Structure 1
Amino acid sequence: MKRIVAIISVFAVVLFASAALASPFYLTLTGNVKSVFDVGGLTDSSGINVGDELSYVLKVDRDVIGSKTRKGRTTNMFGSYYASLISGNLKGQTGQGIFSTKNFVYENKLLSSLHAGNEFSNVHATNFLDDFDGFNVGSSFDSFIETTYGNGIKMASLNLKNVRVTAKSNTAPTPVPAGFLLMGAGLGAVGFVRRKIRS
């Protein structure tokens, strides 16, 4: 009986530890609108103008393969990892017809390219000679564009400048809530085993 309890305890601790280590991180970005291209009439309806400061939230997860989705069909982008747009500014549509929702990051020695989307829009960002893991508060992108489609196939896009990271969260290997859960599971297992040994 003691052996079974010990095996279950070890299994629980390993399970919680692996779940705590596999966490994505989130980047909050802020930049200014440099130019607007709007055939779809989407920036007019949202009141976005050149010079406006806009914010974005991106989720990046190196443990998941990147993908793109079109007409409900998802294709994995091998050699990449996952990124998605949590919060953007254009409210059109992606993933319909010939347009894809893109969720992937490619990195090489010369250029890192991020494609993050949701059902409303996609963003495309590049950074030369740096990877996105190294991005911290104050880091900036070389280029950043948000695109979407409305009124059929009419495109709208925002080209931003001075795009910088204003917040980065969930970067710790074991976030505090998961750390408490892990510690609680370990203490509970020790208490349970100790109680069984006494009886």
Structure 2
Amino acid sequence: MSVNYIADQTFDKQDFTLRPVPKAEYEGCSFISCNFSNSDLSGVKFLDCSFTSCNLSLASLIKTVFSDVSFKDCKMLGLRFENCNDFGLAFSFDNCKLDHCSFYKLKLKKTTFKNAQLHEVDFSECDLSSSDFQNCDLLQSTFDKTILEKADFRSAYNYSIDPDNNRLKKAKFSKSGLAGLLHKYDLQISE
């Protein structure tokens, strides 16, 4: 086994802004209250890992592998997820702040975004089929030629999605959220 393989370890309160993240394959590892802001995570592999209360803002993700990774209570501003290695790309977000992130052209079927703040996020040309946006704030996020078939927006809010420019077959919306589908018409909708 290679020296660059780290399994089942917990990293608690590590500040990776002071020393770089070792280039390795991390499997089954937990990262708790770690600071990765502005770090270079390029080429690092995270398999079946969890990040809790971490700051990953503006980290470089070139060819980074996230396979079955969960993020909870994390600050993740300005991340360019489209630079990740897309083979096996799978993650979930719970109570994370993902403002100004980009998921451009990624296949993210069945991705869970729960209680997330997603302001000005780029979902252009993504495949978000069967994804769940549970109680998410999507203020000024971009959906352009995005596949949203069977996606669940019933408890999401502040979104603006053009039904003519996105695939929405069998997507779920609440009555109160229908205004987000009519935004381009500049209608005044009242209760």
Band of TM-score, shorter chain? under 0.3
What TM-score does the superposition give when structure 2 sets the normalisation length? 0.22
What TM-score does the superposition give when structure 1 sets the normalisation length? 0.21
Flag the structure with more relative contact order, 1 or 2, with Cα contacts below 8 A and sequence separation at least 6.
Answer: 1
Larger strand percent: 1
